[in-house]
Structure 1
Amino acid sequence: MNFTRKFNVLITEEISYSKLIQSLPKLEEFNVCYISDWSKVDSDYKYFSIRDESTDKLLGAFCLFFSKRKGMLHLSNPPFFQNCGLWIGSQGKNLYYQNSHQKKVLKSIAEFLSTYNWVNISFPPECIDMQPFYWEDFVCKVRYTYRLKTTEFRELNNASKGLKSSIKALKSKGISIHQTFDSQANYLLESSSLQGRKKVESDYFKKLLEVLKALETFSVVKAEVNQSAGVSCGVRVGDTFVYLFGGAEKTEGLSLGTASLYELISNELEANLQLIDFEGSMIPGVERYFRSFGAELTPFYNVTKEPAVLGVKKALNL
């Protein structure tokens, strides 16, 4: 299948991970999409470049996942990732030229995506210009993550009283901390992350974990007491630590999930980190938990487009 599209002088085309990183090594420190070659997990992970045909200069990059739903092609973020990792190169300090450059690249992406019938993609919080997608009749919605400066985490000045009390209590409960990814940790992560997921997504998740475990920037912490445990894992991306997955067994009066996450982040503070990204959730209970750390609510945009046949089925309640 040919994924190349040309709009004016900009060309959007599929590119191999190795060629993309060779052209722009700093992408590895920009977004989770670029810390490894996810096409090794499955060939349906595809990387795209946006370049100027006249100069052959790389202007942007992103990662998409191509799958089949209801027998139709569906484009989305890579499974279990918050966004498509869109990167757009800078264009000087003049605000007019910056905005014009970004508008041109985003217009090219919107026109590229408009050639497909079923799309559901989110963008990094830094990308706020959704006008080109409105112009192409995409539905644009706001979603949220939580981000916390590492200086705030050290003091937890803005954290909830409940979280502060929990962390204080954890230090006196004789909890053992391990930085090993054993079978119990694996079970807890899968049990928490795969609830309600299809088998194919379960397979992707297991392959994803195998790739992550091989990365030097990946870390995991298991908190354990009386044979019960909680586990949290994440990965360093440049100056940001991204929380990925967690899971915990219920213990009366004790949050082993909080213990593992607190220790996980604490262990990373020496790595010259500036920011912690909780990869926020739209699930109320999860949102409330991330908010308790005193993190800043950060919006990001999602664009969708559905096949006309789905609209008919919804209207007929089929």
Structure 2
Amino acid sequence: MISPHLFVQPKWLDLYKEAYFFSYLVKDEMVLPLVFKNRFGLRVITHPPLTPYLGLPKECATREALDFYAKSIKDKRPDYVYIAFPPGVHDLLPFKFAGFTVEVRYTYILDLEFDEEKLWRNMDKTRRNDIRKAYNDRLQVVSLDIQSVSIAAGLIRKTFARQGRSVPWLGLARRIMEKSLGEGWGRGWLVKQGDTPISFTFIVWDETTAYYLLGGYDQEKRHHGAGPLGMWEAIRFAKSIGLKRFDFEGSEIPSIERYFRKFGGVLTPYYAVRYMSPRFQIFHALYRMMKRI
């Protein structure tokens, strides 16, 4: 039986059951959850926050299955749909035929089947130097536990405050960390200088893949090696428990993309489908117009 990726498993979706309505499309042994939310009277199918993928895994994304799902989603008469498929799903023509647009996005994926020495060598020289400096300056890596989740949340808040942004999903991030730590499918690391936390890194995983999910950094206590050291610890851990891949989840922000790229992962496309009903298109045009006023 095919093991679904983490983000369509009940233990992940349970995190959102109070804020979203779920419907499930079932074909043979395959289940695709659809996550609904009503916004301004519009019926929306989309990803909850911090959920990078919702589509079928590549092992069961056959033309027949995708055709079934595309038609079934349209039959529910949504106003807006956005679903990203995990890397490896390429043939989304059934969605195009059903009136969806198909978009390409990018992530970086690290092959953990290499030995640790090769993973180290494959990193950019600058990134290796950052980590060496962290070791030389005696930065400490401490495993995150449930009691220190509040410290990690504070680092997230500081990261966004530096950009002049709020964090509407901070409470959700805390719940994800607490639940996954307690159930054994998430792990995090604080990097400290003395007793002062500088950065943290948090991953979750399924049967094959670790996903970089959360991170934070205290700019006032800056150290160029703090974030890279935490990420390197996460990579080493993911390899040690037998996972095959480390997915950085990518970014369309150039500075973050450069940061991920230097860990030596392979630039990997993944695809998303999007649909907007005529009335949603009108709503979207009015919304954009109001923002310009």
Unaligned runs of 5+ in 1: 1-23, 52-56, 91-100
Deviates more, 1:306-315 or 1:271-280: 306-315
Aligned to 1:7: none
Alpha-carbon distance between aligned partners in 2 of 1:209 and 1:45, rounded to the nearest angstrom: 22
Residues 255 and 63 of structure 1, relative CA distance in 2, 3 Å threshold: farther
Corresponding residue for residue 3 of structure 2: 27
Matched-pair contact (CA < 8 Å) for 1:176–1:224:
yes
Could you tell me how far apart the structure 2 residues matched to 1:82 and 1:184 are? 24
Indicate whether 1:106 and 2:72 are aligned: no
Contact 1:145–1:281 (CA<8 Å) still a contact in 2? yes
- Asked whether 1:222 is paired with 2:222, we answer no
Deviation of 1:269 (Å): 2.3
The CA distance in 1 between the partners of 2:153 and 2:285, in whole Å, is 42
Aligned match of 1:245 = 214
Deviation at 1:271, TM superposition (A): 1.0
Larger RCO, structure (CA 8 Å, separation 6 or more):
2
State which of 184, 193, 214 in structure 1 corresponds to 2:151: 184
Q: Deviations over 1:151-170 (max 9, x none)?
A: 16642333212101111212
For residues 25-174 of structure 1, what are the structure 2 equivalents within 5 Å? 27=3, 30-34=5-9, 36-43=11-18, 44=20, 46=22, 48-51=24-27, 57-58=28-29, 60-87=30-57, 102-114=62-74, 115-150=77-112, 151=114, 154-155=117-118, 156-174=120-138
Task: Give me the CA root mean square deviation.
Answer: 2.6
- Is contact 1:141–1:301 with CA below 8 Å preserved after alignment? yes
Instruction: State the Cα distance separating 1:105 from its structure 2 match.
Output: 1.0
1:116–1:252 distance in 2 versus 1, CA, 3 Å = closer
More helix by share: 2
TM (norm. structure 1) is: 0.77
Residue 174 of structure 1: how far off its partner (Å)? 0.8
Stretches of structure 2 that go unaligned for 5 or more consecutive residues are none
Size of the aligned set, in residue pairs, is 276
**Partner Cα separation in structure 1 for residue 284 and residue 23 of structure 2:** 32
The structural deviation recorded for 1:37 is 4.9
Identity %: 23
Query: Residue 192 and residue 110 in structure 1: after superposition, are their counterparts in 2 closer, same or farther (change >3 A)?
Result: farther
What residue in structure 2 maps to residue 175 of structure 1?
139
Pairwise CA distance, 1:42: 2.0
Cα distance, 1:63 vs structure 2: 2.7
1:142 to partner: Cα distance: 0.3
User: 1:136, 1:105 → 2: CA distance?
Assistant: 14
Cα distance in 1 for residues equivalent to 2:72 and 2:160: 32
Q: Deviations over 1:226-279 (max 9, x none)?
A: 424210011231132221111111244533111211112223322122211111
